[in-house]
Amino acid sequence: MSVSEQLKILCIKLGLSVSELGRMTGKSPQAFSQKMKRESFTVDELKRIAEAAGCRYEGTFIMPNGEKVTY
């Protein structure tokens, strides 16, 4: 699942439009929409989006031995 798809699902679950989520993060609806189309979110941006939405973002790689690399 792409990041944009995840963000759309988040918006649905929170009862927000994608434009509203963009505004909550300080981006214009147009700029946020373009980032969604390009799939160009950084990890820091995803953390800021989660914080603005009252959520927590976790990015984790789980290695074959079970060790986790989290950013």
Query: In the chain, where are the structural domains located?
Result: 3-70
Structure tokens at 35: 């980032």
- For residue 67, how many other CB atoms are within 10 A of its CB? 8
pTM: 0.85
Residue 69: strand pairing partners: 61
**pLDDT for res 1:** 87
Distance in angstroms (rounded) separating the CA atoms of residues 21 and 33: 10
Give the tens place of pLDDT for each residue, 4-35: 999 999 999 999 999 999 999 999 999 999 99
DSSP letters, 16-33, are --HHHHHHHTT--HHHHH
Distance in angstroms (rounded) separating the CA atoms of residues 8 and 2: 10
Q: What is the CATH number of domain 3-70?
A: 1.10.260.40
Q: Are 35 and 27 in contact (CB under 8 A)?
A: yes
